Amino acid sequence: MIFDIITIFPGFFGSILEHGLLKHAIAGSEIAVNLHDLRDFTGDAHRSVDDRPFGGGPGMVFKPEPLFRAVESIESSREVTSGEAARAVLLTPQGRVFNQALAAELSREHALILICSRYEGVDERVAAHLATDEISIGDYVLSGGELPAAVLMEAVTRLLPGVLGNEESKLAESFQELPALAASGTRAGLLDFPQYTRPAEFRRWKVPEVLLSGNHSQIERWRRRQSLLKTSVKRPDLLEKAGISAEELRAAREEEEFAAREL
């Protein structure tokens, strides 16, 4: 996957590309990241990327020309190699809200252009005629699209084949939407079950006995139950989407009560 990022702060991405998952994905050629300084696509001596809004008002608005030039320059350089047009994503609080399903959808693209603007605004013609997608990372306002672009890039990259060593852990984690696996008892669409590591007792807090038992079917059952109960407390909105019936939830609660009484 090729990410082309258009930004006025290319230096912002230095650290995130040099650590952890993204660093490894670059080293393993699962992704390539090209940073494009928007100011390189301006046409004036001041290299200005924004201007005052028509109609007045506070703040500045990103001009259309540099953004169109930047995207077109990326597209024309790519035509030589692939010919397929890449999706151009404008990061904006007005976009479709990013989630795991959208990350999965984007991970099937061969390339993505990420357009980072500043919060005050972008000339509407960019959203209307240049971007193929407008994406928000949540209902809050940041001062620019760089952090959202980094979030999107990391969430998409970890879904690419060969990026995570352990494919299984990726499948089992919270929020993964895998209806086929839900039927086989995996925790698709639910929050993760609680994890523990050594020591088995820390400041008098003990690890649940079942995890030390070595009984794998019991451990699986316990994990599935915890995942369900935790979701029902912290994110009840996810239960329906994950296809959990009221009956199943009631059974899990009863089983939990029964297990607690046994102790």
Q: How far is the CB of 101 from ligand ADE (least distance, A)?
A: 17
The interface mask with ligand ADE, positions 100-139, x = CB under 6 A, is: -------------------x----------------xxx-
- The stretches of 44-133 forming alpha helices (DSSP H) are 64-79, 100-106, 124-129
Distance between CA atoms of residues 115 and 185, nearest Å? 40
Angle subtended at Cα 175 by Cα 172 and Cα 177, rounded to the nearest 5 degrees: 80
First to last CA, the chain: 51
The interface mask with ligand ADE, positions 20-49, x = CB under 6 A, is: ------------------------------
Q: Which is nearer to ligand ADE, 150 or 252 (CB)?
A: 150
Distance between CA atoms of residues 93 and 86, nearest Å? 22
Task: State yes or no: residue 142 binds ligand ADE (CB under 6 A).
Answer: yes
Q: Which is nearer to ligand ADE, 136 or 226 (CB)?
A: 136
Q: Which is nearer to ligand ADE, 7 or 227 (CB)?
A: 7
- The gap from C-alpha 175 to its chain's centroid, in whole angstroms, comes to 11
Among 92, 157, 226, 227, binds ligand ADE (CB under 6 A): 92
For 53, 61, 66, the CA distances from 58, given in Å and listed in that order, are 8, 10, 22
Q: Which is nearer to ligand ADE, 96 or 125 (CB)?
A: 96
Do 135 and 91 meet the contact criterion of CB atoms below 8 Å apart? yes
Task: State yes or no: residue 91 binds ligand ADE (CB under 6 A).
Answer: yes
Q: How far is the CB of 98 from ligand ADE (least distance, A)?
A: 8
Report the interhelical angle of 246-262 vs 216-234 (nearest 10°): 120
Token pair 């001009």: residue: 63
Q: Which is nearer to ligand ADE, 16 or 172 (CB)?
A: 16
Q: How far is the CB of 21 from ligand ADE (least distance, A)?
A: 20
**Where does this chain bind ligand ADE (CB under 6 A)?**
91-93, 119, 136-138, 140-142, 145, 148
